Amino acid sequence: MPVTRERAEEHIEVVTVDYPPVNALPVRGWFDLATALGQVGEDRDVHVVVLRAEGRGFNAGVDIKEIQRSTGYDALVGANRGCHAAFGAVYECAVPVVAAVHGFCLGGGIGLVGNADVVVASEDATFGVPEVERGALGAATHLARLVPQHLMRTLYFTARTITAAELRSHGSVYQVVPRAELDEAALVVARDIAKKDTRVIRAAKEALNGIDTQQVHRSYRFEQGFTFELNLLGAPDEAREAFLKDKNG
């Protein structure tokens, strides 16, 4: 299955995303991920969750081909709602979420990682929001949780990426390791959290969310309104077609 759960060790759940070839998630994928994370948080025997992916990269955002194949705006609305649900599920998960990131982390991937509690990345990991090149907006809310304000704006306007090592210098990535060591590095952090009293850790997660200065749900929903407006103007259709044409040669 594209989204799976596995009890890796006592009190540690691993949620894996696997949507070949690049982990660009369709509408159902986002909702399935949200459901999995919600179920994990409800399981009192789980103290911490590791969010990881198989394949070439952690996440390539939404499935543009699915949107282009659809008529009307159903797929767009579905993608918007699905991303909102998945990002929110990471943030609202009752236990800490450790994101293990490799390869590319783009668009929707930033939404997941930006809302995670701990980020561990491989040396080959790169992060970015290419939305402006697709005629859309989104995940600035979450990019702003990873880098300072002016750098966020520069990355957003230029659609450039930033490396895991650079993010570590900003304090948002906890550790950068060789690709072969990524899963174990994430588990090391998870083990440290898992051995704590889960009643305290769950209360701490809720408390930290409660004092957060960024209202992630509302600000991301605000961004999505501009994406829909741009779709009414036709800008994303042109950008997505150009992207798919360039990608297919």
Q: Where are the domains of the chain?
A: 3-178+211-247
240 pLDDT more than 70: no
pTM: 0.94
Calculate mean pLDDT across residues 242-246.
65
What's the mean pLDDT in 141-153? Answer: 98
Retrieve residue 138's tokens: 């989104």
pLDDT the model gives residue 247: 65
Q: Which neighbouring-strand residues pair with 71?
A: none
Q: Is the pLDDT of residue 142 over 60?
A: yes
For helices 74-92 and 216-233, angle between their N-to-C axes, nearest 10 degrees: 170
Which residue has tokens 């293990």?
Answer: 100
d(CA 32, CA 7): 18
- Tell me the residue type at 22: V
Q: 89 φ, ψ to 5°?
A: -65, -35
Check whether 246 has a pLDDT greater than 90: no
Q: Is the pLDDT of residue 1 over 80?
A: no
From the list 73, 141, 137, 132, the residue with the least C-alpha distance to 112 is 141
What is the average pLDDT across 37-66? 96
* pLDDT score for 70: 82
Q: What average pLDDT does this structure show over 107-135?
A: 96
- What's the mean per-residue pLDDT of the chain? 94
Res. 65 pLDDT band, cuts 50 70 90: confident
Question: What was the pLDDT predicted at 48?
Answer: 98
Q: Are 119 and 113 in contact (CB under 8 A)?
A: yes
Question: pLDDT > 90: what percent of the chain?
Answer: 83
Residues 6+ apart with CB under 8 A from 158: none
Q: Tell me: domain 3-178+211-247, CATH 3.90.226.10, correct?
A: yes
Average pLDDT for residues 37-44, to the nearest whole number? 97
Instruction: Answer whether residue 211 shows pLDDT above 60.
Output: yes
Which pLDDT band, with edges at 50, 70 and 90, does 27 fall under? very high
What is the number of H-type helices and E-type strands within the chain? 11, 9
